[in-house]
Amino acid sequence: MKIPRIAFAAYGFALLIIVLDQLTKAWILSLPDVASIEQIPVGYVFAEVFPPVLRFTFVQNTGVSFGLFGGGEARWGLTIFSVLVSGALAWWATRADRRLLITAIGLVIGGALGNVIDRVRFGYVVDFIDVSGTGVFPWVFNVADSAITIGVVLLIIDSFLSDRASKA
């Protein structure tokens, strides 16, 4: 099967997100405030970046995005599900012909696989971006979660903007 050139854009976006996600997590885990603690307490605020709007708070997320369905029991199930979804999206990218759709697919693949890497390595996903001080968004998240969210929003926008004829 020949992979269309546009599909490689999705794979490039995915790779970019994976690299950014893993670099930011490695940076967070290497900070002296975090690296010097043998057992980092969950919910440990280690940097007030722009108080109270933005803090870096260490969270071991055993659930899906934003800690939903947490508990740790589903580690391998979530890992397998994320890999299967990423595979399906990678296949979809070979059929896509719109830039917005390709971008969305790449962001979701990259975010899903970025979190899979954490689940396999640590048994949890490293979350650290905390904007709960705004009172609007209570979850702590990471670059991968952000990419998944933006990708899903772009998928929804693309579905409204696409020129496909609706079938009744």
Let me know if 127 is a catalytic residue.
yes
Strands (E), the chain: 44-50, 54-61, 125-130, 140-141
Let me know if 145 is a catalytic residue.
yes
Tokens for 40, please give them: 């980092």
d(CA 107, CA 134): 26
Catalytic residue, from 21, 118, 130, 145: name it.
145
Q: Is the dihedral of CA 135, 138, 144, 146 positive or negative?
A: negative
Catalytic residue, from 118, 127, 130, 158: name it.
127
Computed over its alpha carbons, how large is the radius of gyration of the chain?
17
Count of Cβ atoms closer than 10 Å to residue 88 Cβ: 12
Greatest CA separation found in the chain?
Answer: 61
Would you please indicate which residues are annotated as catalytic (active-site) residues? 127, 145
